Structure formats: structure tokens, C-alpha cells
Amino acid sequence: QVQLVESGGGVVQPGRSLSLSCAASGFTFGSNGIHWVRQAPGKGLQWVALISYDGRHQYYADSVRGRFTISRDNSKNTVYLQLNSLRDEDTAVYYCAKDLMSSLCDYWGQGALVTVSS
């Protein structure tokens, strides 16, 4: 069955960096884009980024463009999210999700908590 497992969350000071990983299994990884979506405490879902199936195209929310970088290694069935210049408002649970039809997320991981705090 499809599985997505996030790792790399933790507590980090404002202005510092953190890297998240999303390990995938149960589907043809190299044929699907992957999204990152986050949920801040008490808030709704917020899309963060999308990487295409081949890694050639990346799309970002305005709030993270220039600070976050999405990448993938199809030989390792893994997608990464590099979070730089972190702010308090980046505190959230970060989910990776499998893309379907370049339009929606049909499977989600359990999430990784990132806390930005001094």
C-alpha cells in the first residue's frame, strides 16, 4: 500500500535552517509529483510546494518562495524540503502528499512537526 513517511522535524531558532525528508513506497515514485502541505497550530491546511515527477519543475507558495527548496532523489524514493531563514510563523506540522493529476493529494504522510522558537 502507499506509504509516505516524513522525518527531520524538530525545534529550531528563528533564522536557522532545517531539512525534512519524505520517504515513499507502494507506488511508482518516479511517475508522481509530491506536495508539501503544512498546518500551523489552530490554523487550516496551507500548501507549501510541489515538485514534478522528474524533479524538473518546482512550485512554491508565495510565503516560502526564496526560503524553502523542494528536491527529490528518484533513486532513493525520497523528496526533501530544505527550510531556510525560518520564522515563527513557519511553526507547523509538515505533511508530504502524493500528487494525482497535477491537481490534488491522494495520499498523505503522518506529518513532521517543525517548531521555530528562540
Partner 1 sequence: SYVLTQPPSVSVAPGQTARITCGGNIIGSKRVHWYQRKPGQAPVLVVYDDSDRPSGIPDQFSGSNSGNTATLTISRVEAGDEADYYCQVWDSSSDHMVFGGGTKLTVL
**Sites of contact with partner 1 (CB under 8 A):** 35, 37, 44-47, 50, 59, 61-62, 95, 97, 100, 102-111
Between 15 and 108, name the residue whose CB sits nearer to partner 1: 108
The least CB distance from residue 57 to partner 1, in Å, is 9
| Dihedral over Cα of 66, 80, 44, 31: its sign | positive
The least CB distance from residue 51 to partner 1, in Å, is 12
The least CB distance from residue 27 to partner 1, in Å, is 14
H or E element at residue 82: strand 78-83
d(CA 29, CA 12): 30
Q: Judge whether 95 and 109 are in contact, CB under 8 Å.
A: yes
Between 17 and 105, name the residue whose CB sits nearer to partner 1: 105
